[in-house]
Amino acid sequence: MPTKKAKKKTVVELSRSSYTPYALTEGEEYMSNPQLEHFKAILLHWRQQLMEEVDSTLQLMQDEIYNLPDAADRATQEEEFSLELRTRDRERKLIRKINQALERIQKNDYGFCDSCGIEIGIRRLEARPTATLCIDCKTIEEIKEKQWGT
């Protein structure tokens, strides 16, 4: 019979609690090498956490496959597996975004808006290290999506 699992922190919660916010120095150039290294470390750590979650999910699903005689128990188990797989799919997409952000760091293109080219900002990037739009362009994009239903 499946056991109740304790609520664990999400990977996003874990990743945000695992780094110290960047301390800007006066006159420091935006996306200097120390800043790029800061974000690279955040992204690499985040990706590692996600990969560990994928591995643990595979192990969990292999360990918890039961031939349950009760239809309700089987349905519950299948629903739990379905939810877990959807979560892993979202995390797979997030890993792809993390890899793209790491590529941008390699190309010295990280931290600048894809739409207008201005600085995205240190604090916004710490909140969302995979951001590719400044807050203004992201807001406009969301308004357009809401209007057009896309």
Q: Is it the case that residue 14 has pLDDT exceeding 50?
A: no
Q: Report pLDDT digits (tens) over 101-142.
A: 999 999 999 999 999 999 999 999 999 999 999 999 999 999
pLDDT at 16: 54
pLDDT at 55: 76
pLDDT at 3: 44
Give residue 15's pLDDT band: very low, low, confident or very high (50, 70, 90). Answer: low
pLDDT at 22: 94
Q: Report pLDDT digits (tens) over 73-109.
A: 778 877 888 888 888 889 999 999 999 999 999 999 9
Q: Report whether 21 contacts 126 (CB < 8 A).
A: yes
Query: Which domains does the chain carry?
Result: 29-110 (1.20.120.910), 112-150 (no CATH)
Q: Taking residues 13-42, what's their average pLDDT?
A: 86
Q: Report whether 111 contacts 125 (CB < 8 A).
A: yes
Alpha carbon distances (Å) from 16 to 19, 43, 125:
7, 11, 11
Listed residue (115, 117, 119, 111) closest to 141, CA to CA: 115
Separation between Cα atoms, residue 69 and residue 4, nearest integer Å? 19
For residue 109, which amino acid is it?
Answer: D
Q: Report pLDDT digits (tens) over 37-54.
A: 999 999 999 999 998 887
pLDDT at 82: 83
Q: Report whether 98 contacts 130 (CB < 8 A).
A: yes
